[in-house]
A and B are shown apart, each in its own frame.
Chain A
C-alpha cells in the first residue's frame, strides 16, 4: 500500500505502474480469448469495444460533468473514417507507405480529435441541459448525414468493409466465391461493390444479433418481414438474384445448420461462416436486420460451396478471435491512456472544474479549456471504438450508430459507475451480458418475443433511474463506499 502511494507521487513511476497493470490485463485477456469458444470471443470483442468508448464517457460525463448523448455519433465518425480510408486509400498520403488497418485506426482517431475539438468548443459554453440536447441532436443528426451523401457514405445501407484481415481476407474469400459460384463475375473485388456481392457469403450474424440487443433503438423483429428482407430492391442486386435463390431455407439447403451454436464455430462451416461480411440485406433497414436471429432467414447463398471457402483459409484463423484480440488491443491502449489522464494532474483538473468552475478559474485552470479537453479525449476514444465496431460488423451504417448506441453508452457508464474507469468496464460487461441473460431466461420460460426483446431496455431504463436515485456512484462507487465505510472513511459517491 505504501509502495503504491509512493509510486503515485512520481508521474514516471506511475506510468510504469499503469503499464504493468494494463499489460498484465492484456495478457490475461489474450490467453482467455484463445481458450474460449469463439462465440465468447465475439462477446469479448463487444465488451472491449464498449469499454473503449465508455472510458471516454467516464472522462466526459463522470469527471468533467458533461452529459453527452452524442458519443454514438462520435463513434460513427470513427467508423466512417476507418471505412472510407481503408476502402479508398492504398498508400499513406504523402509518405507513400502501404496502407493498412492501423493507419485507418489512426485516421479514425484523428477524425475523432478534430470533431471532438469542434463540438467541445461549442459544448464548453453550454450548461447541462443545453449540452445534453445538443448532443442528442448529434446522435440523431449525424447518422442522417450519411443519407445526404449516398455515393460517398452509402446512405441507409452503409458501407461494407474490406477489412484487411491478416490471414488474407477479401481476396481469399473472393476467389472462393468465384470458383464456387457465378456471383462474382470477374474475380476481383472492388470494396465499394462489396454490398452487391456479399449476400452470397453469409455470415457472421452473431455480432449483429448482439449489437442489436444492446441497441436501445432497435425495434426488431416487428419491422422485419420476409418482404422487407428479401426483395431485390433491398439488395440492389436483382440482376444476379432471383427470388428463388434467396427466399427459402430449402433453397439454401443449409437452414437446418444455421442455428446459433452451429454458426459460430468453425468446425461446422469453416471460416467461411465467420467472414463477418454482412449480407446485402442490411439493405433498407439496419434495425430490422440487426435483430434477425442467427441464420434464420438471411440469405445464405446455396451456391456458395462452403468447403471451398474453408479451403481458401488457413483453418487456424478464427475471425471472432481476431476481432476480439484487435478490440482488446485497442481497449488496453485506450485504458492505459485513460488511466494516466484520470489519475494524473488532468483528472484533478477535470474534477475541479466539474465541482466548482469559478474556484478552478481562480487557481488558474481554464474551465472551458478543461471541458474541451475532456470532449476531445472522449471523442478520440469514441472514434477508436467506432473503428473497432466497424471491424467487428465489417460494416458502417447509420442504424448501427444511432441514438440507441449513444443511450447504451450512457446507460453503461451510469450503471457501472460514472466516474470510474473500472465502472466503464463493468458497464460494458453489463451491456453485453444482460441481453444474453434475458435471452436465456426467456428461452427457458418461453416468453413471447415482444417481452424478450424489450426486457433488457426496460431493465436498463429502470436501473438507470434507480442508480441515479439510490446509488449515484453506480456499481463501483457503491462498492467503494462500502469498503470506505468499513475502513471508517467517507467520501462523495461521485468523487
Chain B
C-alpha cells in the first residue's frame, strides 16, 4: 500500500508534463484540425535554448521565459512555412510534413548541441520531501511543476472562456466560416493557436528536463504519451487533455513502479489502441467537454 501511494504520488509531476504536451496538441488540433507531430520536437528544441540560457546566466526564470517566447515563435514559423501552404490541399501531406519538421528539428538540435544527454539543473531542490517521519516521492521541484501546470491550465481556461480572444479562437475552431462571417480574423486565430501551443509545449519541455536528461530524441516517448492522453481526452478538450495527461502519468508511474519503466510505452500503446478500438474519435469528442 505504501508502495502504491508512493508510485501514485511520483506520477503526478510527470503526468503534469504529459498534460502540458497533450494540451499543446489539443490547442493545435482546435485551431487547425490537425495533429502536430513535431510538437515535442519543438519543445525539445526550445528546452535546449532554455538550457543554454540557464548555463550562461544561471537564471532559470529567464531561461523559462525565453523558452516560452521561442516556443511561440517556433510554433508560428512552423505554421506559416509548413502547415498553412499544405493544410487544405493535402491532408496526408500535412501529417507527413509535421514528421519532416520533427526529424529536422532533432537533427538540428543534434548539430547545435550534440547528442550527449545533458542535465538541466532544477531551480529548486528535486529530492523527496521529508514529512511525518518518512521521505515522500514528491520534491519541492515537483510542487513547482504541479503549481506551474495548474496555473497554466487555469490561465488557459480563463483565456478561452472569459476573453474575446478566447471566444474568437473557439469560434474559429468550431466553425471557421461562421467565425469569419462574424468578423473574426480566423487566420490570426490559427496563428494564435499555434503560438500558444508552442509556448505551452515549451513550458512542458523546460519543466520535464530536470527530471531526467535532455537529448535530441529524449522527448519521443513523451509524444506517444501526450498523443495517447490527448486522444483519450477527445483531442478537442482542454479538460480532457489535462485529466488524461495526469492519468497517463499516474498509470505509467504505477507500471514503472510495479514492473519496469521499459513497459510504459507498451501500456501507452495498449491504452491508445483500446481507446481507438472503442471510440475511433476519442472518448470525450463531440460531447460536453468540447465547449471549453
Contact = CB atoms under 8 A, between A and B. Distances in A.
B119 interface: no
Contact of A465 (B37, B104, B269): B104
Interface stretch (B7-15, B66-74, B257-265): B257-265
A309 interface: no
Contacts of B29: 129
Interface stretch (A46-54, A84-92, A217-225, A292-300): A217-225
A469 B273 contact: no
A211 to B, nearest CB: 17
Contact of B96 (A130, A217, A414): A414
Contacts of A126: 276, 280
A465 B101 contact: yes
B228 interface: yes
A453 B112 CA distance: 12
A90 B103 CA distance: 43
Interface string A400-422: 00010001001100100010000
B111 A125 contact: no
Of B92, B94, B95, most buried by chain A (CB within 10 Å of CB) is B92
Interface in B249-292: 260, 262-266, 268-270, 272-273, 276-277, 280-281
B104 A144 contact: no
Interface in A467-493: 468-469, 472
B85 interface: yes
Interface stretch (B195-203, B216-224, B239-247): B216-224
Contacts of A414: 96, 100
Contacts of B58: none
B55 interface: no
Given A125-B276, A134-B276, A469 B107 contact: no
Of B34, B99, B108, most buried by chain A (CB within 10 Å of CB) is B99
Interface residues of B, number: 57
Interface in B62-101: 81-82, 85-86, 90-97, 99-101
Contacts of A324: none
Interface string A135-146: 011101110110
Contacts of A100: none
Interface string B102-140: 111111101100111100000000000000000000000
A418 B34 CA distance: 20
B108 to A, nearest CB: 6
B44 interface: no
A350 interface: no
Contacts of B266: 141, 144-145, 148
B227 interface: yes
Given A137-B224, A223-B115, A468 B93 contact: yes
Contacts of B206: none
Interface in A205-239: 216-217, 219-223
Interface stretch (A173-181, A264-272, A315-323, A454-462): A454-462
A464 B265 contact: no
A136 B224 contact: yes
Contacts of B272: 133-134, 137
Given A128-B91, A137-B224, A137-B272, A216 B106 contact: yes
Interface string A44-68: 0000000000000000010001010
Of B91, B100, B217, most buried by chain A (CB within 10 Å of CB) is B100
B106 A457 contact: yes
Interface residues of A, number: 55
A132 interface: yes
Contacts of A141: 224, 265-266, 268-270
A69 interface: yes
Of A453, A462, A469, most buried by chain B (CB within 10 Å of CB) is A469
Interface string A345-372: 0000000000000000000000000000
Nearest to A404: B217
A147 B116 CA distance: 24
B99 A464 contact: yes
A494 B89 CA distance: 12
B231 A130 contact: yes
Of A219, A414, A450, A465, most buried by chain B (CB within 10 Å of CB) is A465
A69 B90 CA distance: 18
Contacts of A410: 96, 99
Contacts of A144: 262-266
18 contacts: A67-B92, A125-B276, A129-B29, A134-B272, A136-B37, A144-B266, A216-B103, A217-B220, A222-B117, A403-B220, A450-B111, A455-B107, A460-B104, A461-B103, A461-B105, A465-B101, A468-B100, A469-B85
Closest 6 CB pairs of A and B: A461-B104, A464-B100, A141-B269, A222-B115, A461-B103, A457-B107
Given A137-B265, A141-B268, A219-B110, 19 more contacts: A129-B29, A134-B276, A136-B227, A137-B272, A140-B220, A144-B263, A144-B265, A147-B260, A148-B266, A217-B217, A407-B102, A450-B115, A455-B107, A455-B111, A457-B110, A461-B100, A461-B103, A465-B104, A468-B100
